[in-house]
Structure 1
Amino acid sequence: MINLFNTHIASLSIHRVGNKSKNEAVLLSSEPYKTDDELTPLLKEFFLKPFRDKEETYYRFSHEADLEFHELYSIVSEIFEDPETIHEQSKKITKHLFDQSMHPHIKSGEVYIAYLENMQIDNEKVNGIGIFKSELKQDFLQFSEKENQLEAFLQHGVSLNRLDKGCLIFNSKKEEGYKILSVDSNRYDARYWLESFLGVDAFEDDNFFTKKYLKFCQDFAKDVVLPAEDKKQEVLFMNRAVNHFAKNDTFEESAFMNEVMDNPDLIPEFRHYKSEMAPKYSIEDLTTFPIANTAVTAARKKIKNVIHLDTNIQIKLDFINAESAEKFVEKGWDEEKQMYYYLVYFNKEQKS
């Protein structure tokens, strides 16, 4: 879990990178950018807001041979060893980004490279490096007053409401490739930022495994539980699965199956589905791991608990009080109408 509230921009360098395939240039500033008390908080919000609003999915630098051959990893390591060199190192980072800007769809833009202090990750205070890029420009009106006349003129610039691309590299887990967060608002070339420039893959930590296993359960519910039973049982299965994760600190697959698999006939189906689909979720040999509460909370928000009927009626099941669906909702078949029905028991209607 990250906390960026007290993060301080200790150093900032701004460069411009063009599209190399279009013979556009790269502009490297000779000196770090001198911020002031008015601009600094605006830039901090511009850089960091997307990461506060985003689900935490960590990456790490990765190289098929060895991390020492990873260009960006080496540059970042040198910065963390000597933060005073960040401006010169920021030029290397910008040149590296320029070298990856070969696809005709890649847009030119400004590159901001910041040394960030007092970041908090996993309850530990660390420093970090931010690499951000603005690509899309917007027209806006500027005004000036001359005597008793207000003059308007058009300007073209970057909106501080939207960061196009960015990453935060935390000085944590160096031996594993550092912990990294990334955002990319303009997905016209998804490989450009993550693969070509950053050269990262998923950081397989507690959050990663929790999220992946819950996604696996969600797909099992949709692909196996729903066809074998019905939508109600699909929703209830996921409710039991999420609740199991929520109340335990450590995941044990045997305990999970004993508690969550309400229908014993589905246990072999679960094992078969995992053996077939596990590589897709990177959980081939995963049977125990610490549970990340943030991933459980995020998964709960995404799980749909509504039964949509072809008669234009919806039944919403309460995830918090799922036992109500077991006790007070019944499914049946009406011979006369040749239709399924849901029977719902209640004492009185609640005021909304």
Structure 2
Amino acid sequence: MNINLYNAQLENLYIHKVGNRARNEQLFLSQEPYELNDEIRPLLKEFFLKPFREKDLQFHKFSEESTIQSLFGKRQIFEDEGDFVPPNKIHEAIAYHLYSCGNHPHIKTGELYICKIENILINNEKVFAIGIFKSEVKQEFIQFEQKETRLDAILKEGVNLNKLDKGAIITLEEEPRVLFIDSNRYDTKYWIEDFLGVEEMEDSDFHTKKYLKFCENFAKDVVRPAEDKQQEIMFMNRAVNHFASHDEFQEDSFLNEVLENPELVPEFSNYKAEKGAKYKIEDLTEFPISNTAVTTVQKKLKSLINLDTNIQIKLNFINPESAEKFIEKGWDDERQMYYYLVYFNKEEK
């Protein structure tokens, strides 16, 4: 799934303060939207949306028990001109819901920002969304005040605009899609399960990433012990290249092209029967391939051979056949050691 937030615009921003219910702290609700000006609008846009651009995030969907989903289902969210509907006050309902989820004393008080986001592109299609963000961790800073004869240093606390604590972008579609981030892992259940109530969306992105992750572990657990590290890397290169060169995944075609050792075919089937449920691919034999997901996996793929002589060999091949053409593995009887023989034309600077 390709999401573009470059031209996204924030509108109708409400800022509430959500205390910890378990500690009997208060909930403060703003009755009016915050007036965004040209100075603060780009700062808040970067604060809210930067984490969603920098991380590889998977779209989720609301579970049947999600309170947020029920709020969206029962209320009109925007007037025709794009404003939050005042009588329904969905921004207040969202804040009340988050407050009600604060049943643990460790959950931090924070500012809750709720806004409309325009001009989001998903697969080049423009969509509207609601943004829900929360800042919790405060940092100290010094502000200076000029007096007649000196500068006074005043210690204050504020929000670091370089780190958003929690956030969610919810598309306003018939079937809403949800992206979320949570920088504070100690209370993940509070934000993801209790507040948002989301579960994984099993789309082409999901299937592509899960199947390639399964292949990566098959390579590590089965291919490497049966052959060697070089063959493990080559298998994954062939697997990723297969995904990159096809629009539709067919498991039979994949196995014929990627598993060069026929003895590993039944091993693959056995491994899938044993581990497939963990990756939610146990019954998956065909699906549309997500090019975005393939690119993400390619960037993360490690192609290092670490040797016990403190030497590393990095295989950086677009075409996996290059590994067979330019590197050979053998055994030296005299030294009683394995070796790699590498062919090249010249050393790169």
Pick the TM interval, shorter chain: over 0.9
Residue aligning to 2:302: 304
1:84 aligns to 2:80 (yes or no): no
Contact 1:86 1:115 in 2 (8 A): no
Cα deviation for residue 36 of structure 1 reads 1.3
Aligned to 2:348: 351
What are the equivalent positions in structure 2 for 1:54-133 lying under 5 Å apart?
Answer: 54-63=55-64, 70-77=66-73, 78-80=75-77, 82=79, 84-85=83-84, 88-133=89-134
**Aligned counterpart in structure 2 of residue 197 of structure 1, from 195, 198, 207:** 195
Q: CA contact under 8 A between 1:51 and 1:183: conserved in structure 2?
A: yes
Cα deviation digits, residues 298-335 of structure 1 (max 9, x gap): 10111110100011000011232432211121112222
Bigger drift between 109-118 and 99-108 goes to 99-108
The CA distance in 1 between the partners of 2:124 and 2:238, in whole Å, is 29
**Superposition pairs of residues 237-256 of structure 1, within 5 angstroms:** 237-256=235-254
SS at match of 1:141: strand
Q: How far apart are the structure 2 equivalents of 1:109 and 1:204?
A: 33
1:71, distance to aligned residue in structure 2 (A): 2.0
TM-score by length of 2: 0.94
3-state SS, counterpart of residue 189 of structure 1: helix
Alignment match, 2:166: 165
The amino acid of 2:35's aligned partner reads K
Listed as ranges, the matches of 1:320-335 within 5 Å are: 320-335=318-333
For the residues of structure 1 that align with 2:325 and 2:348, how far apart are their CA atoms?
21
- The amino acid of 1:54's aligned partner reads K
Quick one: structure 1 residues 79 and 311, their matched pair in 2 at CA, closer, same or farther if it must change by over 3 Å? farther
Deviations 1:101-142 (A, max 9, x none): 112221110000001112111221111000000000001111
Q: Tell whether the 8 Å contact from 2:62 to 2:196 is kept in structure 1 after alignment.
A: yes
Distance in 2 (CA, whole Å) between partners of 1:35 and 1:148 is 36
Amino acid at match of 1:125: K
In the aligned structure 2, how far is the partner of 1:341 from the partner of 1:265? 25
Stretches of structure 1 that go unaligned for 5 or more consecutive residues are: 65-69
Letter in 2 for 1:75: L
Alpha-carbon contact 2:67-2:196 (below 8 Å) kept: no
Deviations 1:237-287 (A, max 9, x none): 000000011111111111111110111110111111111111111112211
Question: What stretches of structure 1 move > 4 A for 4+ residues in a row?
Answer: none
Counterparts of residues 191-230 of structure 1 (less than 5 Å): 191-230=189-228
Deviation readout 1:47-94 (Å, 9 max, x if unpaired): 111111111301010126xxxxx3211223424464534561111111
Superposition deviation, residue 153 in structure 1: 1.4
Report the aligned-residue RMSD: 1.5
- Alpha carbons 2:78, 2:85 under 8 Å: kept: no
State the partner residue of 1:67: none
Q: Distance in 2 between matches of 1:293 and 1:86?
A: 39
Does structure 1 residue 151 correspond to structure 2 residue 152? Answer: yes
Per the alignment, residue 7 of structure 2 pairs with: 6
Q: Partner of 2:92: helix, strand, or coil?
A: helix
Q: TM-score, normalised by structure 1?
A: 0.93
Q: Report the equivalent of 1:339.
A: 337
Provide the residue aligned with 1:291 in structure 2: 289
Gaps of 5+ in 2: none
Deviations 1:179-218 (A, max 9, x none): 1100011111221111111000011111111111110100
Aligned residues with identical type, % of pairs: 58
* CA distance in structure 2 between the partners assigned to 1:144 and 1:321 by the alignment: 63
Q: C-alpha distance in 1, partners of 2:292/2:134? A: 28
Judge which range, 272-281 or 228-237, deviates more: 272-281
Write the mapping of 1:20-31 to structure 2, written as runs, cut at 5 A. Answer: 20-31=21-32
In the alignment, is the contact (CA less than 8 A) between 1:329 and 1:345 conserved in 2? yes
2:248–2:286 CA contact under 8 A, matched in 1: yes
Cross-structure match for 1:41: 42
Is the contact made by 1:137 and 1:156 (CA closer than 8 Å) also made in structure 2?
Answer: yes
Secondary structure, aligned partner of 2:83: helix
